[in-house]
Protein backbone atom coordinates (compact mmCIF):
# COMPACT_ATOMS: atom_id res chain seq x y z
CA UNK A 1 0.00 0.00 0.00
CA UNK A 2 1.30 3.45 -0.93
CA UNK A 3 1.37 5.95 1.91
CA UNK A 4 -0.47 9.22 1.25
CA UNK A 5 0.70 12.40 2.95
CA UNK A 6 -1.88 14.15 5.11
CA UNK A 7 -2.82 17.67 4.15
CA UNK A 8 -2.05 19.96 7.09
CA UNK A 9 -5.11 22.16 7.22
CA UNK A 10 -7.84 22.92 4.75
CA UNK A 11 -9.21 26.36 4.09
CA UNK A 12 -12.63 25.23 5.23
CA UNK A 13 -13.71 23.04 8.17
CA UNK A 14 -16.05 21.15 5.85
CA UNK A 15 -13.22 20.29 3.47
CA UNK A 16 -11.05 19.25 6.42
CA UNK A 17 -13.79 16.93 7.66
CA UNK A 18 -14.30 15.40 4.23
CA UNK A 19 -10.53 14.96 3.87
CA UNK A 20 -10.38 13.12 7.19
CA UNK A 21 -13.16 10.79 6.02
CA UNK A 22 -11.45 10.21 2.66
CA UNK A 23 -8.18 9.43 4.45
CA UNK A 24 -9.94 6.84 6.56
CA UNK A 25 -11.53 5.29 3.47
CA UNK A 26 -8.11 5.22 1.81
CA UNK A 27 -6.57 3.46 4.81
CA UNK A 28 -9.42 0.93 4.67
CA UNK A 29 -8.62 0.28 1.01
CA UNK A 30 -11.87 1.71 -0.35
CA UNK A 31 -10.34 4.81 -1.98
CA UNK A 32 -7.45 4.42 -4.46
CA UNK A 33 -4.20 6.33 -3.99
CA UNK A 34 -4.78 8.22 -7.27
CA UNK A 35 -8.17 9.42 -6.02
CA UNK A 36 -6.62 10.48 -2.73
CA UNK A 37 -3.90 12.45 -4.52
CA UNK A 38 -6.51 14.31 -6.58
CA UNK A 39 -8.48 15.06 -3.43
CA UNK A 40 -5.31 16.31 -1.70
CA UNK A 41 -4.83 18.78 -4.58
CA UNK A 42 -8.36 20.09 -4.09
CA UNK A 43 -7.62 20.79 -0.43
CA UNK A 44 -4.64 23.07 -1.16
CA UNK A 45 -5.07 26.81 -0.79
CA UNK A 46 -5.31 28.43 -4.23
CA UNK A 47 -2.39 30.61 -5.30
CA UNK A 48 -3.71 34.03 -6.27
CA UNK A 49 -1.87 36.61 -8.35
CA UNK A 50 -1.04 40.04 -6.97
CA UNK A 51 -1.08 43.44 -8.63
CA UNK A 52 1.77 45.81 -7.86
CA UNK A 53 -0.31 47.92 -5.50
CA UNK A 54 -1.36 44.80 -3.58
CA UNK A 55 2.28 43.75 -3.10
CA UNK A 56 3.20 47.24 -1.89
CA UNK A 57 0.23 47.23 0.50
CA UNK A 58 1.22 43.78 1.80
CA UNK A 59 4.79 44.92 2.40
CA UNK A 60 3.59 48.08 4.15
CA UNK A 61 1.14 46.06 6.26
CA UNK A 62 4.14 44.03 7.44
CA UNK A 63 6.04 47.30 8.13
CA UNK A 64 9.22 46.40 6.25
CA UNK A 65 11.27 48.08 3.53
CA UNK A 66 11.67 46.66 0.04
CA UNK A 67 15.16 45.27 0.81
CA UNK A 68 13.95 43.53 3.98
CA UNK A 69 10.85 42.16 2.23
CA UNK A 70 13.11 40.87 -0.56
CA UNK A 71 15.33 39.10 1.97
CA UNK A 72 12.32 37.32 3.50
CA UNK A 73 11.19 36.18 0.04
CA UNK A 74 14.75 35.32 -1.06
CA UNK A 75 14.53 37.59 -4.10
CA UNK A 76 16.38 40.74 -5.09
CA UNK A 77 15.30 44.21 -3.97
CA UNK A 78 14.91 45.12 -7.64
CA UNK A 79 12.41 42.25 -8.08
CA UNK A 80 10.23 43.66 -5.30
CA UNK A 81 10.52 47.15 -6.80
CA UNK A 82 9.57 45.85 -10.26
CA UNK A 83 6.59 43.92 -8.84
CA UNK A 84 5.34 46.97 -6.99
CA UNK A 85 5.69 49.20 -10.05
CA UNK A 86 3.94 46.65 -12.25
CA UNK A 87 6.96 46.14 -14.54
CA UNK A 88 7.05 42.42 -13.68
CA UNK A 89 4.84 39.92 -11.90
CA UNK A 90 5.93 37.39 -9.30
CA UNK A 91 5.54 33.73 -10.17
CA UNK A 92 6.56 30.29 -8.96
CA UNK A 93 7.89 30.03 -5.41
CA UNK A 94 7.86 33.81 -4.88
CA UNK A 95 4.14 33.96 -5.67
CA UNK A 96 3.47 31.06 -3.29
CA UNK A 97 5.44 32.86 -0.55
CA UNK A 98 3.48 36.08 -1.14
CA UNK A 99 0.26 34.10 -0.70
CA UNK A 100 1.57 32.66 2.58
CA UNK A 101 2.53 36.13 3.82
CA UNK A 102 -0.92 37.42 2.84
CA UNK A 103 -2.65 34.69 4.88
CA UNK A 104 -0.30 34.23 7.83
CA UNK A 105 1.97 37.25 8.03
CA UNK A 106 5.68 37.71 7.42
CA UNK A 107 6.66 35.90 10.61
CA UNK A 108 5.75 32.61 8.90
CA UNK A 109 8.94 33.02 6.83
CA UNK A 110 11.21 33.92 9.74
Per 3-state DSSP, the chain is made up of helix, strand and coil in percentages (nearest 5) of 65, 0, 35
What ranges do the domains of the chain cover? Answer: 13-43, 52-109
Sequence-distant (≥ 6) Cβ neighbours of residue 3 within 8 angstroms? none
- Walking along the chain (110 residues) 10 residues at a time, the average pLDDT comes out as 47 80 89 87 88 98 98 98 98 96 94
Q: Provide the pLDDT for residue 69.
A: 98
Residues 90, 56: contact at Cβ < 8 Å?
A: no
Query: What's the pTM?
Result: 0.72
Least Cα distance to 99 among 27, 48, 57 occurs for: 48
Fold of 52-109: 434 Repressor (Amino-terminal Domain) (1.10.260)
Amino acid sequence: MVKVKAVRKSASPILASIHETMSGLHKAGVVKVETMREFDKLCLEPVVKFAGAQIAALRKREKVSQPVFAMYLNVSKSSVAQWESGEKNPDGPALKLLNLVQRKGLEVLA
